């Protein structure tokens, strides 16, 4: 197939796929401003990971969230809970807890040994 024809077919599909995605944002006590980034849900049993950074790019944190610890009786994702770990570029490693808001969003927190708290939220973009 001609490269131009292939490009005309594939490029719009790739751009459309990028229009839908997950974003993450959060705040860290002791750090001014909001941390922003992307999230990558797991395609198997739930959970996933996210990347957050401050606006200057000095602090970066990567969270890995495990699948929910138990399913809700209603079959809905709402209120499912799980744990995870957050690793930051400044050496912090923090245990995290998350709660589903819906099947496309969750919020959570992690706390370091000094009591500094990272509050985060992951949502699907429309």
* pLDDT at residue 13, as a whole number: 38
Q: What is the dihedral of CA 57, 91, 83, 79, to 10 degrees?
A: -30
How do residues 18-59 score in pLDDT, each as one tens digit?
445 899 999 999 888 999 999 998 876 778 899 999 998 899
86 Cβ partners below 8 Å, 6+ apart?
Answer: 61, 62, 63, 64, 92, 93, 94, 96, 110, 118
**Which pLDDT tens digit goes with each residue over 61-118?**
999 999 998 776 776 788 899 999 999 999 999 999 999 998 889 999 999 999 999 9
Residues spanned by the domain of 110? 21-124
User: CA-CA distance, 46 to 5, in Å (whole number)?
Assistant: 37
Domain assignment present for residue 108? The answer is yes
The CATH number of residue 65's host domain is 2.40.128
| Residue 55 belongs to a domain | yes
Give the total number of structural domains in the chain. 1
118 strand-pairing partners: 28, 110
User: Residue 5 falls within a domain, yes or no?
Assistant: no
Angle CA(82)–CA(96)–CA(45) in degrees, nearest 5?
Answer: 30
């Amino acid at each position: 197939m001609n490269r131009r024809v292939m490009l005309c077919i594939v490029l719009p599909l790739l751009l459309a796929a990028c229009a839908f995605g997950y974003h993450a944002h959060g705040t860290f006590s002791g750090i001014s401003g909001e941390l922003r980034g992307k999230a990558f849900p797991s395609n198997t049993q739930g959970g996933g990971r996210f990347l957050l950074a401050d606006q200057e790019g000095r602090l970066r944190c990567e969270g890995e969230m495990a699948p929910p610890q138990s399913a809700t009786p209603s079959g809905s994702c709402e209120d499912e809970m799980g744990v995870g770990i957050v690793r930051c570029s400044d050496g912090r490693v923090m245990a995290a807890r998350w709660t589903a808001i819906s099947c496309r969003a969750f919020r959570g927190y992690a706390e370091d040994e000094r009591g500094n708290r990272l509050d985060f939220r992951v949502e699907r973009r429309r």
